[in-house]
Structure 1
Amino acid sequence: MSGHVAAIYRHPVKGFTPEGLERVELRAGENFPNDRLYAVENGPSGYDPAAPAWVTKMKFTVLAAIPAIAAIRTRLHDATGVLSAEAPGRPAFAGRLDDAAEAQAFADWLTATLPTDDLRGPLRVMPSRGAFRFMDHPLGHVSILNLASVRDLSAKMGVELDPLRFRANLYVEGWEPWVENAWEGKDMMVGWARAKVYKPIVRCAATEVDPTSAVRDHEVVRALHDHYGQMLCGIYVHVTASGAVGLGDAVTAPE
């Protein structure tokens, strides 16, 4: 079964704005490029930048815990390394998160922007190191969402769900709904790269937040369980052979 890439997104700061791309180079054994490079610690998390290791996302500023994050618009500018951020009623921020003083300025800006009740302690920008990235799952290298599955869920719920709720890297058209849930361990082509399906993605409360309004408006996790008897939507894959992926490229599913 062959589909095609309808959208490509990265999330340079965990929990914050998805950034659309036209093309990306996937590398064997690596995470999606420039995805989840930084996370903002919400009170002490136990994460040590000198010895980076996976920490549950709930230790950071993420949509599952703080819906208001969706109202903030961030963008990492590749040419300069500057992160820009805007929020309603607030002055804009711009700074490099790889500079300690400017990273702290971003944390201070967020502290003044986010609801006080959602903050568990001092906010601190945490950098990834080496191959480590702040993924929801320690082995969730690249995430793929089947848009037909989202439409089927939307129909069951009687609402139109924005696929960006699911914060995937690659969004695919042309597959039958939910076929991806049976592909664990199987090989596939993703553009010009080869990949192996690691596992389906178990969804959390982040999907319940509208990415435009920043309102927790639909119980997506409950709907998945009620209509399908599981809480899966999307798949993680591991890249086994490097290659480029662009908009419109084929994504060939396992037979």
Structure 2
Amino acid sequence: MITLRQLYRYPVKGLSAEPLARVELHAGEGMPLDRLYALTNGSWDFDAGGYQPRPKTDFIALMDHPALAALTTHLDDDARRLTVRTPDGRTLQVDLDDGAACARFADFVARHLGARFEGPPAFVAGEGFRFTDVSVLSHGMMNAVSLINLATVRRIGEEWGVDIDPMRFRANLYIDGAEPWTEAGWLDRELTIGSTRLKAVMRTPRCAATGVNPLTAVRDMAIPATMMERYGHRDLGVYLEVVAGGTLEPGAEVHVS
């Protein structure tokens, strides 16, 4: 039996995961509050009204800045507040409706990273769009939900002789009980999870962000390069389109048709 083990959202692109006990999905829409916010890398000016999806290299992201993984964030959407914690216990409260507070947060992250940027990074919010890695492909892909098969992660760890934390892959849905790599053959097939129906639309190509250890904030693996060497590709996991909305909860059975 295949089951849904874990649910996550990532409110700020590149920053920490938030586990969910349940979530309501709607047809054609993505995970609620997932990648709704982002930090630009200071090389361009954000205009919400005229924004067109841009590549992840235009944002502050894990692939370039492993130290992001050392920050823990929590979004309280009702209070419109983002809480940020550093490894040394400092806490920053960001009022999302206060432009000055958002600017201070962007400066805080830049100083934490100790990196040089072309201009001041900006903390930005999506208005009718998400800052997902595949948003540049289409509006539908911008709202895709990502899935990881835990059996595949275990298998590659066994083959490589290492323990691979599944959170390196920053997926929304983590399933278990399927055979390793079987998800790669689900393209154009439908998954029923609880009362929700989703369609597999694309395999997920992996980037250098997966090399960052989410516990230590250190780049300690070269997952895409190792996958290319061993398997001839760097795809792990799949993107799903929400076909029919419903409730998702860990423990729900997953049926593939």
Q: What's the TM-score, normalizing by structure 2?
A: 0.93
Q: Distance in 2 between matches of 1:51 and 1:98?
A: 20
Q: Deviations over 1:90-113 (max 9, x none)?
A: 742101224312211211211221
What are the residue-to-residue correspondences of 1:36-185 with 2, within 5 Å? 36-45=35-44, 47-89=46-88, 91-117=90-116, 119-130=117-128, 132-138=129-135, 139-140=141-142, 141-185=144-188
Q: Which amino acid aligns with 2:131?
A: F
Contact 1:12 1:34 in 2 (8 A): yes
Q: Secondary structure at the match of 1:210?
A: coil
Q: What's the TM-score, normalizing by structure 1?
A: 0.94
Stretches of structure 2 that go unaligned for 5 or more consecutive residues are: 136-140
Aligned to 1:186: 189
2:207 to 204, 207, 212: 204
Distance 1:42 1:197, change over 3 A: same
Q: Distance in 1 between matches of 2:228 and 2:110?
A: 35
Q: Deviations over 1:4-56 (max 9, x none)?
A: 11110000000000000110111100011110010000112464311232111
Q: Secondary structure at the match of 1:222?
A: helix
Q: Secondary structure at the match of 1:50?
A: helix
Structure 1 residue runs of 4 or more that deviate by more than 4 Å after TM superposition: none
Q: Distance in 2 between matches of 1:198 and 1:52?
A: 25
Q: Alignment length, in residue pairs? A: 251
TM-superposed CA distance for 1:115, in Å, is 1.7
Contact 1:6 1:247 in 2 (8 A): yes
| Identity %, equivalent residues | 39
Aligned to 2:6: 7
Stretches of structure 1 that go unaligned for 5 or more consecutive residues are: none
CA RMSD of aligned residues (A): 1.5
TM-superposed CA distance for 1:116, in Å, is 2.5
Aligned to 2:138: none
Q: Distance in 1 between matches of 2:47 and 2:188?
A: 32
Q: Which amino acid aligns with 2:127?
A: R
